[in-house]
Structure 1
Amino acid sequence: MNFLVDENLSPRIADLLTKAGHDSAHVRDLQATSAPDSMIMNIARADGRVIISADTDFGALLAQARATEPSIILVRELLELRPPELVNIVLNHLDVLEPHLRAGAIAAFTTSGIRVRTLPLR
């Protein structure tokens, strides 16, 4: 999969995903640091990337626009984890999540599991 890691997460996450065989970039790599969330979404949409973020504002923007892309992986509740641990959790669930993310979804990781909502949000 192709990922875009938001600036509220470590660039190491993008590096680790790339090492695991995924096309991953951090917003810093795309000169999009401090860009508005709408611009981050446009970049992800144009490049066919799934955004990985701790920012719940992406869900609100998708709901407001009734958008079907880009897909988002929210890891807000996992922020205390080190990047390798966080990446391992995402990768360990990717086989189940990938069809949803390709179709358009928000996957929110919590300490007790994963909640997936199909886009567009209602």
Structure 2
Amino acid sequence: MKLLLDQGLPRSAATLLTEAGIDTIHVAGIGLSAADDTDILQRARNDERIVVTLDADFHALLALSAATTPSVIRIRIERLRAQILANLLLSVVGEFAEDLKQGAIMTVEPSRIRLRHLPLVKER
């Protein structure tokens, strides 16, 4: 399992997650802190990484393109410190590893987690 943390998430969480055994990089560490969301998605796809973000645009881009990768985890909890974010992601990745490997979008909120498999298709 490999993660790519988006801008707005603590850079130090990448180090904590890597130390815990999950290969994690932050967009700032690879020169993508000002990149478009589409470029970040492509980098994640190329590197087989899961995007972790605060941004809802990633889900919309995947829906519009009917893409099957990469998986995206959207965090909807404000002001998470690095250690709390790392612990949260360790738990989420552990519990939903198979879904994330297959391609999914996930929204993590304080009281629930929503998961949908990719590609997203319109319900009729």
TM-score normalised by length of structure 1: 0.94
Structure 1 Cα separation of the partners of residues 46 and 38 of structure 2:
12
The sequence identity of aligned pairs, in percent, is: 40
Q: CA deviation at 1:19?
A: 1.0
Q: Does 1:81 align with 2:80?
A: yes
Specify the SS of the correspondent of 2:51.
Answer: strand
How many residues are paired up? 121
Alignment of 1:41-120 (within 5 A): 41-75=41-75, 77-120=76-119
Structure 2 Cα separation of the partners of residues 115 and 13 of structure 1:
22
- What are the Cα deviations for residues 21-45 of structure 1, in whole angstroms up to 9, with x where unaligned? 1111101111111100000000000
Structure 2 Cα separation of the partners of residues 93 and 101 of structure 1:
10
Structure 1 Cα separation of the partners of residues 66 and 98 of structure 2:
20
The answer to whether the 8 Å contact 1:78/1:86 transfers is: no
The answer to whether the 8 Å contact 1:74/1:109 transfers is: yes
Structure 1 Cα separation of the partners of residues 29 and 79 of structure 2:
24
TM-score normalised by length of structure 2: 0.93
Structure 1 Cα separation of the partners of residues 91 and 65 of structure 2:
31
Structure 2 Cα separation of the partners of residues 113 and 91 of structure 1:
16
Q: CA deviation at 1:93?
A: 2.7
| Structure 1 unmatched ranges of 5 or more | none
